[in-house]
Chains A and B, each alone.
Chain A
């Protein structure tokens, strides 16, 4: 158990809909990262937050957005869903913005999104 929690575990929805994925980082971690893993693919970095502020952006679609709240949990919002958005979405957390081995990322169990 990495200490990172993600809800829900599974989500099935229809095209055009909007969903919210939730992540709680490990106790004490300030950084949260979101990744998308499509079937048989590697991990695509979407976005990173540090202590409530956006710090890095990867291949995140404009239909997707995220935020990190004062209690450090984060939410990833996916809207106008398309079939191709079906994937496993991981959240990871690390201690700080950068620097040192303390910035190792620990992953949550993922949310499997299926768009029908």
Chain B
């Protein structure tokens, strides 16, 4: 089974600054999809951004962008101009192309300091 590793259990950032959350994964597949989900204190799981492995261009959604390094099997999330509402647990997830199951990392808890 694929594994997803988030090596930073906790991160903090000053409001309006930029922070990068790390994610690495282990796979032998060439086609797959990667996701970042946000879980605020409400515990709702919210899709933040997604990336297809066959696309070299990094995905961007407003203040959220990814740095996808396929050879290094790395998929980091950059949050620019951090806001208090960005405080949450962030989960990285992997799904193979044609696969049914999502594999989640253990999460990174992000604190935004006013």
Contact = CB atoms under 8 A, between A and B. Distances in A.
Interface of A: 2, 31, 33, 37, 41-43, 45, 48, 50, 55-56, 58, 88, 90, 92, 97-99, 101, 103-107, 109-110, 112
Nearest to B103: A45
B43 A110 contact: yes
Contact of B33 (A31, A101, A107, A112): A101
A78 B91 CA distance: 26
Nearest to A98: B98
Given A42-B105, A42-B107, A106 B47 contact: yes
A98 B99 contact: yes
B47 A99 contact: no
B26 to A, nearest CB: 16
A92 B100 contact: no
A42 B98 contact: no
Contacts of B95: 103
A93 B98 CA distance: 16
Contacts of B103: 45
Interface string B93-114: 0010111111111110000000
Contacts of B100: 31, 48, 50, 55-56, 97-98
